[in-house]
Each structure stands twice: as C-alpha cells, then as structure tokens.
C-alpha cells in the first residue's frame, strides 16, 4: 500500500468518501477485501480483511 497519485492504468474508486486507486493487475484480488484500522499490543495500523491468500 502506498500513498501516491494514481497512474493512468489504475482503477480509481471512492470508498466511504475516500478516493482509492488500484493497480489494474490486482483489481480482481481486491474486490472482496475490507481495509480496516486495528489497534493491537504490537501497535496500530491498517489491515486487509476478507481474503487469506491476498495480503
């Protein structure tokens, strides 16, 4: 995951008011993913939920 400007070939969507872009090569792998924020004993950060073999 990167905070960057979308490339010409990226798929761009708005999710919950946030503009998100995906590399066209991974779009089919991200369709069922949920991006969430979690706080654990090891720290806090964004996590991908919903597809065990993706990320």
Can you read off the two tokens belonging to residue 31? 């369709």
Of 15-19, 22-26, 42-46, 49-53, where does mean pLDDT reach its minimum? Answer: 49-53
Q: How far apart are CA 51 and CA 23, in angstroms?
A: 17
- Whether 54 shows a pLDDT value over 70: the answer reads no
CA 29 to chain centre: 10
- Rama region for 28: left / alpha / beta (φ>0; ψ in -120 to 50; rest): alpha
Question: Using CB atoms within 10 A of its CB, is residue 22 exposed (0-12), middle (13-18) or buried (19+)?
Answer: middle
- For residue 35, give the DSSP letter: E
pLDDT above 60 for 52: yes
């Amino acid at each position: 995951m990167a905070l960057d400007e979308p490339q010409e070939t990226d798929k761009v969507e708005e999710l919950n008011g946030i503009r998100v872009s995906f590399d066209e090569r991974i779009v089919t792998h991200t369709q069922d993913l949920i991006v969430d924020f979690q706080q654990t004993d090891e720290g806090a950060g964004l996590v991908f939920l919903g597809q065990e073999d993706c990320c």
